[in-house]
Amino acid sequence: MTAGAAPELSAPADRELAARVLAGDEAAFRDLYRRHTPRLLQLALRLVGGEESDAEDVVQDTWIRATEKLDAFRWESAFGTWLHAIGVNVAREAARKRERRREADWPDGAEPPAAEPLDHVEPLDLERAIASLPAGYRTVLVLHDVEGFTHEAIAEQLGVTAGTTKSQLFWARRAARALLAPPTKGTSA
Amino acid sequence: MNDRDDLTPAERRAFEELPRERAPRAALEERVVSALRRRGLLPIPLGAVASRRRLAPWLVGAVAASLALFAGGFAAGQYFGARSGAAAAISGAQAAGSATQVAAHVERAGALYVAALVALNQMNDSADAPTRAKARQAALSALGAAATEVAHLAPNDPLAAAVLRGMTEREQEQRPAPSTRSVVWF
């Protein structure tokens, strides 16, 4: 993935901190954690559908996996990009588990009702709509429309084709609009 | 479909206004660090190494709960297994070189501690009052010592804080004289 990368200037510092973490420096880990967790937590929170405790679990598991793999990280991408890619995978697993516990408005793959593009959207309402989407739609919508990743990058991350992510984004936006759309005259009661 | 062309300006603006960062709770950092330590991904820092030395009294406290039952002179045979296991846990913890090993010792000692309390409950009717009181005090001392150590490991742990707070309150309520604090260490 290319979008959402940590600023170039921070890369050497991340690398230096990571080297110190591998040498057992807890303070370096805390620095790394504090630098990257706010963004990771927000991403996790959206991907799991707004459940804070689930998002915290994702953050913890992400750091565990990242620290386990740290010595194998080749620094071909920014540390933040790599960390968030791990976070996306962990969050998808968490979201799948959570999905089994709740009734989604539209199961993945089901066709949401058609809705007009919106002229006014409150961010808070948008956040709620994103949380209500099925996990598959939500992941693509968050990565593309919120995080700014390209379809190719998302496809690589999720192990699907770009065509699939485009299709999922189409349905995700449609579902979100249906959730956000005010009731139209004649359709209620 | 082009990347963002499908969104209206209002929709695009709403997406852009969504927060990209969220401040984590301070407790989450401690939780993550503790999880890494438990897996041996971060070493036990010097402070915690010192606390590993303090772990011995914790373990001794756990054993104290068991041994207090022996001091009363009842059901000794039932506990020989637990006592030898706890003694092994102590020496094992002192010799343990990794966080994982120490965590395993703590878990084992904790199990012995709980087993001793279960036995104490079962023996309540047959034991005399002073022996019961002594065993109960030993059990509470071990609980307090354990909570103190957990608070060292995870300063923001709410459960450890609640136990310590409760014990402080209890101590204040029960304190008739300034120096009545009695910790039973064996």
Give the domains, in start order, of chain A with CATH numbers: 1-102 (1.10.1740.10), 107-182 (1.10.10.10)
The total number of structural domains in chain B stands at 1
Q: How far apart are alpha carbons A80 and A32 in whole angstroms?
A: 10
Q: What is the mean pLDDT of chain A?
A: 86
Nearest to A96 by CA among A148, A155, A146, A158: A158
pTM for the whole thing? 0.59
The answer to the question of residue B99 being in a domain is yes
Two structure tokens written together for A1: 């993935």
Q: Do B24 and A41 touch (CB under 8 A)?
A: yes
Q: Which residues, 6 or more positions from B62, have their beta carbon under 8 angstroms from its beta carbon?
A: B86, B109, B110, B112, B113, B116, B142, B146
The answer to the question of residue B38 being in a domain is no
Q: Is the per-residue pLDDT at A19 higher than 60?
A: yes
The answer to the question of residue B124 being in a domain is yes
The answer to the question of residue B36 being in a domain is no
Q: Do B43 and A30 touch (CB under 8 A)?
A: no
At B101 the pLDDT is 62
Q: Do A122 and B14 touch (CB under 8 A)?
A: yes
Nearest to B94 by CA among B109, B81, B83: B109
Q: How far apart are alpha carbons A119 and A139 in whole angstroms?
A: 24
Q: Is the per-residue pLDDT at A154 higher than 60?
A: yes
Residue among B1, B21, B29 whose CB faces A166 most closely? B1
* Interface test mutation site (partner A, options B5, B36, B49, B100, max chain A beta carbons within 10 A): B36
Please report the DSSP string for A76-136 in residue order. SS-HHHHHHHHHHHHHHHHHHHHHHHS--SS-TTSPPPP-PPPS---HHHHHHHHHHS-HH
Two structure tokens written together for A102: 């709740």
Instruction: For residue B116, give its domain range.
Output: 43-153+160-171
Measured CA to CA in angstroms, residue A169 lies from A156, B9, B103 at distances of 15, 17, 46
- Give the residue from chain A lying closest to B30, CA to CA: A30
Please report, in tens digits, the pLDDT of each residue of chain B (186 residues total). Answer: 444 558 999 999 999 999 999 999 999 999 999 999 999 999 876 555 545 444 455 554 554 555 454 444 444 444 444 444 445 555 555 555 556 666 666 666 666 666 666 666 656 555 667 777 777 777 777 777 677 667 666 766 767 767 766 766 666 566 555 444 444 443
The answer to the question of residue B31 being in a domain is no
Q: How far apart are alpha carbons A7 and A9 in whole angstroms?
A: 5
